[in-house]
Chain A
Amino acid sequence: MPMPTAERGFPLPSSLKVVPGTEAAQAAYPYYMQFTPGDDSRFWFYNSMHFPEPMSAFDMVTAEAAYCALGAANTRVHCLPTTLGIDYRILNGRVYIGGNAVTDPAEIARRTEEFKQRAFYYYEHWEDLYKKWREKMLALIGEARKLPKVELPEFEPLEHVRAGRGIASNHYLLETYQKTLEGYFRMWHHHFEFLLLGYGAYMTFFAFCKKAFPEISDQTVARMVAGMDAEIFRPDEEVRRLARRAVELGVHAHFPEGRKVDDVIASLENAGDAGRKWLDELATSRDPWFNINVGDGFYHYHRSWNDDLSMPFAGIPGYIRLFQAGESLERPVEKLQAERRQLIADYRELLSSDEERGAYDQMITLAHRVFPYVEGHKFYCEHWYTNLFFNKIREFGALLAQNGFFADTEDVFQLTHFELESAIVDLMTSWSTGSPARGPQHWPQKVAERRAAIKEWARHETAPALGPVPDIIDDPAIVMLWGITRESLDAWLDAGDGGNASAEIRGFAASSGVVEGPACVVRSVEEISRLKPGDILVCQVTNPTWAPIFQKIAGAVSDIGGSMSHAAIVAREYGLPAVVGTGSATSRIKDGQRIRVDGGRGVVTILQ
């Protein structure tokens, strides 16, 4: 890390205490993610972009698998010259991370040579490698779908015996669990195979634009690069399509605002051919496009649209009204593409020389080549695969609950993945020996303790960063993925120094436009239903799967996120004013307060 500055800094990790009464829950996390005294010399920041809520013991697998794969890609595979991987720690359920910069010039030079042989090869063969990537990813999804159902019969099925299988069902529990876990770790390697390279090409173009046009907004650069037909738009497009089909089939009256999903489906089932036809259409949308989480996919309770249809159904009545009012509901992809071409050409014309225009062409061409991956991977990785993964773990939860380990299926997520394996082995043993399993005596009390701890942790705010502030932040991974710069840290420090008294909150200008309205502070996905038309959504992190409610709200503000976050992209498509990456909006804005969002300037003003 660069040399820390003496005068300003955040609290040291060692000064942060485990919330009293939650010590056991904190100790449950593996030893290698606990802070140690040596960590005081380094800079850490709370990764509230990916982990805005306290992490349960099992959900930490996401951090483990992701940082394992991210670090491997940076450190060993592509050999990024100036950075290795990202270290992580957990305290009070909050995940802190720290970059691992390379500062020795000789080492940077050595890694640069490696980088050029590796990363440049990827850029040169991007389309081929990306095509292979999709095949690999679909195969991985296929394997995960094929994993056997998690169950233990009383007696081994006769056909297994007569087929001479020889291996009993309890063994397959372990195999399925290990394959499930292995697949998840593997998926994260796929996730990071291209990601930093993709962001790097985007950042290269971004930095050029900022130099050539010092006052250009982040969102304008984003608009020049963003694709129009990325997978991430598809789920919302399917909701629009379903709304259109409801009108065309004449079943739209079955979708009054606020009716429960089960009631809608029941009434369609009794609505004759047209109702059944619509339900068939729903089925085609669901696989695969509703395999999208209502969060970022990092928490077990971010269920997919398929698991809980209330999110897509919440959007249907509004879309039906728009369609009846004569709007096509189709995303005008060609028009959007033409607009993007025009935007690129117009900025190109402003450049001062052909030399500069040549560089611009080279950089934007590269950004366009790599960006489909940056936009597309999330659907396959964080949504589709992650959804399969958590649901498979849920099957283990159900089996363990049946066997008295847990009161509730969801309790399984209060165990680390190591502990879960031990519980499974416990169950396997008990099934084989015929003796009672030990788990039912062991886990319920721990689960209760950890659930209580998470509730308690959620009530406590945590420092946005820890340790000394580096003079410069030169780690492309940190800058690209978290938008953290020396300037943003200074702003955080200012906020801590009493800047909170100001009625203005600054963030990234994500989507232009000015709007005033009541703030609806949503701290978790479950609270989405509180949003009323005209509200301004204030949340820790916005998510593209919230798109169907974007038609309802007047603006959006988030604590975390950059102008290239998917939420920003979707907000721009909806023409919805949005400010992201404010750092503190959810703690400074009170529910119901009137606020003004100026998405062009990146400023939120508390009006009362």
Chain B
Amino acid sequence: MVSSGVIGWFETLGLGDRAEVGGKGGSLGELTRAGIAVPPGFVIKTAAFEEFVCALESQAPVRARVAALRAGDLAAIRECSGELRARLQGAELPPGVAAELTAAHGALCERAGGEDVAVRSSATTEDASDASFAGLQDTYLWVGDAAGTLDRVRSCWASLYSVESISYRRDRNIAEDQVAMAVVVQSMVDARAAGVMFTRSPTSGDVSVVTIEGAWGLGSAVVGGEVTPDRWVLGKITGEISVREISDKHIEHRRASGGGVEAVAVAEERRRSPCLTDAELGELRQIARRVERHYGCAQDIEWAIDSSGALRLLQSRPETVWSAKDAQPAARVAADPLSHLMSIFGGKR
């Protein structure tokens, strides 16, 4: 796949490109190049967004309008958001961008053998590792054709001006001209099950275990908290499964007949069966180790598995909670190795 002006195929991208393709786009590129199975796709770079917004700015201010808002002034933010989102949603894509995007979409469909794609926001700020920010933008699943894709790209751009997004930036005093939005377009995984995994325990911070959570259908049900996922804890090195919590998964997110996603009740007999086999858990653990090794730090990962059992990663980002803590070493190297023994023989008091 040849990348052109505003399109970057995953194979050509990496974390170093985050300024142009956002955190999610950079991470998907990085994973692809590291040989990790990721659904194929491309990114519409921030340049396309710039071009789009510039055209709008020439009619009326966009960024200056947001920058003028006072943090916490929710009424004003709401009014501004409504106005800007309507403007973005109603504007035509720059003709060059639309042409490139349509061509890339065609190439992707040919490659993947199907029309269905996911369109996902991939915002960027100066601090591109800020995961919380990434969570505020929209993702659209099961988007049908090129026209639909174009429309959803515009929706992603517009989501940068959602009430939550604007509030977040105003609260943190993030400069508007440092904010840009790239958009990821990738083939849909027809997920039999999907979820998240953490290469560091969310509960104890232990780096020697991988915690895997998953439920039936698309991962959106897990990420959105609509279903209590099954949960496993595996030894990162040993593969031992120390925790198996199989929960009642009453709904699953599936493709809606007219495109998009719907929540469907899960048949009684599947509700309490584990959504992954031990072999699949083992495979996920191996992937988690590879990804973590590749990045050199703990990762939070989104995954999906299709009906053929093929695993795909949809996202990987650095773990932020435990990494931010200033952990004390469990012990320090001692001048006399025997002095360690006093931790046992010396008593706890």
Interface residues of A (CB under 8 A from B): 80-82, 103, 105, 108, 112, 115, 119-120, 123-124, 200-201, 203-204, 207-208, 211-217, 219-220, 223, 343, 346-347, 350-363, 365-366, 472, 474, 476, 509, 512, 598, 600-601
User: Which residues of chain B are within 8 angstroms of A203 by Cβ–Cβ distance?
Assistant: 344
Residue in contact with B333 in the complex, picked from A343, A350, A359, CB distance below 8 Å:
A359
SS class, residues of chain B in contact with chain A = loop
Distance in Å: Cβ of A138 to nearest Cβ of chain B: 29
Question: Across the interface, do A355 and B242 meet the contact criterion of CB distance under 8 Å?
Answer: no
Q: Which of A80, A124, A214 contacts B205 (CB 8 A)?
A: A214
A355 surroundings in chain B (CB, below 8 A): 329, 332-333
Partner of A207, one of B207, B208, B343, B347: B343
CB of A215 within 8 A of CB of B233, answer yes
Looking across the interface, which residue of chain B has its beta carbon closest to that of A210? B330
Q: Which of B201, B331, B346, B348 contacts A215 (CB 8 A)?
A: B201
Partner of B329, one of A220, A353, A472: A353
> Once the chains bind, are B237 and A356 in contact (CB under 8 Å)?
no
**Complex Cα spacing A509 to B241, Å:** 11
Of B233, B243, B337, the residue contacting A366 (CB under 8 A) is B337
B51 at the interface (CB under 8 A from A): no
Given A82-B346, A207-B343, A362-B340, decide whether A347 and B241 contact each other with a Cβ distance below 8 A. no
What is the CA–CA distance of A190 and B187 in the complex, to the nearest angstrom?
70
**In-complex Cβ contact of B331 among A219, A363, A472 (8 A):** A363
User: Knowing A213-B206, A346-B237 touch, does A359 contact B329 (C-beta < 8 A)?
Assistant: yes
Partner of A512, one of B236, B240, B332, B338: B240
Q: Bits for B303-329, please: 1 = Cβ < 8 Å to A, else 0.
A: 000000000000000000000000101
Given contacts A215-B233, A220-B235, A474-B347, contact A123 B242 (CB under 8 A): no
Q: Are A474 and B341 in contact (CB under 8 A)?
A: no
Chain B residues within an 8 Å CB radius of A353: 329
Measured CB to CB, the closest approach of chain B to A591, in angstroms, equals 27
B345 contacts A476, CB within 8 Å?
A: yes
CB distance from B170 to the nearest CB of A (A): 36
Give A357 to B244 CA distance when docked, in angstroms. 31
B344 close to A476 (CB less than 8 A): yes
Which of A120, A214, A354, A512 is in CB contact (< 8 Å) with B241? Answer: A512
Q: Are B208 and A474 in contact (CB under 8 A)?
A: no
Chain B residues positioned under 8 Å from A359 (CB to CB)? 329-334, 340
Task: Known A80-B345, A200-B344; judge A212-B330 contact (CB<8 A).
Answer: yes
Q: With the chains together, A80 CA to B345 CA distance in Å?
A: 7
Chain B residues with Cβ under 8 A from A509's Cβ? Answer: 242
> B207 touching A362 by the CB < 8 A rule?
no
A512 to chain B: which residues have CB within 8 Å? 238, 240-241
B277 touches A (CB below 8 Å): no
Is B172 in contact with chain A by the CB < 8 A criterion? no
A363 touches B346 (CB 8 A): no
Is the contact region of chain A dominated by helix, strand, or loop, or is it mixed?
Answer: helix
In angstroms, Cα B206 to Cα A102, docked, is: 34
Residues of B within 8 A of A598 (CB): 244
What number of residue pairs across chains A and B have CB atoms under 8 A from each other? 134
Do A347 and B208 contact each other (CB < 8 Å), given the known contacts A359-B330, A359-B332, A600-B241? yes
Instruction: Pick 18 A–B contacts, CB within 8 A, sort by A.
Output: A81-B345, A81-B346, A119-B341, A123-B338, A208-B331, A208-B343, A213-B206, A215-B204, A220-B240, A347-B237, A350-B237, A353-B329, A355-B332, A356-B329, A359-B329, A359-B334, A363-B337, A365-B337
- On whether the beta carbons of B329 and A204 are closer than 8 Å, the reply is no
Partner among A211, A215, A352, A474 whose Cβ is within 8 Å of the Cβ of B209 = A215
A356 & B341 in contact (Cβ 8 Å cutoff)? no
In the complex the two chains form, is A600's CB within 8 Å of B345's CB? no
| Chain B interface residues (CB < 8 Å from chain A) | 201, 204-209, 233, 235-238, 240-244, 327, 329-334, 337-338, 340-349
Sorted from nearest, which 8 A-B pairs have the closest CB atoms?
Answer: A358-B333, A212-B330, A359-B331, A82-B347, A362-B337, A213-B208, A211-B330, A356-B329
Given the known A-B contacts A82-B346, A215-B242, A601-B244, are A200 and B333 also in contact in the complex, defined by CB atoms under 8 Å? no
Residues in B with CB closer than 8 Å to A204 are 340-341, 343-344
Q: With A353-B329, A359-B334 in contact, do A601 and B243 touch (Cβ < 8 Å)?
A: yes
- Nearest CB of chain B from residue A408's CB, rounded to whole Å: 47
Additional 12 contacts, C-beta under 8 A, given A351-B329, A354-B333: A103-B349, A213-B209, A216-B206, A217-B238, A343-B238, A350-B207, A358-B333, A366-B337, A366-B341, A472-B348, A600-B241, A600-B242
The answer, among A82, A207, A216, A365, for a CB contact under 8 Å with B235, is: A216
CB distance from A283 to the nearest CB of B (A): 41
A81 to B345, CA, bound (A): 6
Q: How far is the CB of A480 from chain B (nearest CB, A)?
A: 8
User: Do the beta carbons of A363 and B235 come within 8 Å of each other?
Assistant: no
Determine the distance from Cα of A105 to Cα of B338 in the docked complex, in whole angstroms.
Answer: 21
Q: Is the CB of B345 within 8 A of A366?
A: no
Q: How far is the CA of A82 from the CA of B330 in the complex (A)?
A: 23
Chain B, Cβ-Cβ closest to A602? B242
In the complex, residue of chain B having the shortest beta-carbon distance to the beta carbon of A361: B333
The answer to whether B331 touches A211 (Cβ under 8 A) is yes
Question: How far is it, in angstroms, between the C-alpha of A219 and the C-alpha of B242 when the chains are bound?
Answer: 11
* Pairwise interchain contact B341-A123, C-beta atoms closer than 8 A: yes
A208 with B207: in contact, given A81-B345, A120-B338, A601-B244 (CB under 8 Å)?
no
Contact of B344 among A207, A357, A361 (CB under 8 A): A207
Collect the chain B residues with CB atoms within 8 Å of residue A108's CB: 346-347
B346: A residues at CB distance < 8 A: 81-82, 108, 112
Residues of A within 8 A of B241 (CB): 512, 600-601
Residues of B within 8 A of A211 (CB): 330-331
Q: Which residues of B contact A207 (CB under 8 A)?
A: 343-344
Contact A115 B333, CB 8 Å, known A120-B338, A215-B209, A363-B340: no
Name the residue of chain B whose CB is nearest to the CB of A356.
B329
> Given that A82-B347, A356-B330, A512-B241 are known contacts, is A201 also in contact with B208, CB under 8 Å in the complex?
no
A26–chain B nearest beta-carbon distance, Å: 37
Whose C-beta in chain A lies nearest to the C-beta of B207? Answer: A350
Identity of the chain A residue whose Cβ is nearest the Cβ of B341 in the assembled complex: A204
Per the bound structure, the CA–CA distance linking A358 and B338 in Å amounts to: 13
Report the minimal beta-carbon distance from A489 to chain B, rounded to whole angstroms: 16
Write out the residue numbers on chain A whose beta carbons fall within 8 Å of the beta carbon of B204: 214-215
A359 to B332 Cα, complex, angstroms: 5
Determine if B340 and A366 form an interchain contact, defined as CB atoms under 8 angstroms apart: yes
User: In the complex, what distance in Å separates the CA atom of A103 from the CA atom of B347?
Assistant: 9
Closest to B243 in A: A601
Closest B residue to A123 by beta carbon equals: B338
Q: How far is the CB of A320 from chain B (nearest CB, A)?
A: 32
A80 contact set on B, CB distance < 8 A: 345
Q: How far is the CA of A82 from the CA of B343 in the complex (A)?
A: 12
* C-alpha gap A363/B332 in the complex (Å): 11
Q: How far is the CA of A346 from the CA of B209 in the complex (A)?
A: 12
- Residue numbers in B under 8 Å from A363 (CB-CB): 331, 337, 340
Residues of A within 8 A of B327 (CB): 352
The residue from A103, A212, A350, A366 contacting B338, defined by CB atoms under 8 A apart: A366
Are B341 and A200 in contact (CB-based, < 8 A)?
Answer: yes
Q: Closest CB-CB distance, A369 to chain B, in whole Å?
A: 10
